[in-house]
Amino acid sequence: MVPGAAALPAVEARLLSAGTGGTADLPAALHRAVAEGPRGPLVCVSDLLFDGWPQTVERLALGRADTALVHLVGRADLEPDLDGDLRLVDVETGAEVEVAGGVTALAGYAAARDRWLADVERACGARGVVYARLVDDEPVEQLVGVRLPAAGLVA
């Protein structure tokens, strides 16, 4: 593979040829990326909203010296606006769950959310994976200009 900007057409072609639909197996995709891809930094961008996220972090840490996880988090996941009885639908799987919103439910949600975010960051740190969190309503410039440099991934 040609380094630098000359490689972008090949990257674009590979991305456009990738299939979509169904459920993702991110650990398997990372395994293929490590086995088939060229040497060099490996960056995974994911919301990690699935049960196998620890295996994803483990797989990311194997086979490469420079690895990073850009953890994309939705503003609505950080600051949900839930009040009353609701039916939540997972946009990827279609699974539905009914919840009762309110102060108690929001406090429990906030505690679980904060534990999960800390667990992800801790898992990355324990495996030498650079961790950067990006909220979906933040501009990409925030990621590239502030978060990735702060994490030591780019200068």
Domain range annotation of the chain: 4-9+19-150
pTM for this prediction: 0.74
Strands 42-46 vs 85-89: parallel, antiparallel or unpaired? unpaired
pLDDT at 9: 76
pLDDT at 2: 43
pLDDT at 63: 67
Please identify every stretch of the chain with a pLDDT value under 50, giving residue numbers as ranges. Answer: 1-2
User: Sign of dihedral through CA atoms 103, 71, 73, 23?
Assistant: negative
Quickly tell me which residue has 């979509």 as its tokens: 20
pLDDT at 6: 67
pLDDT at 111: 94
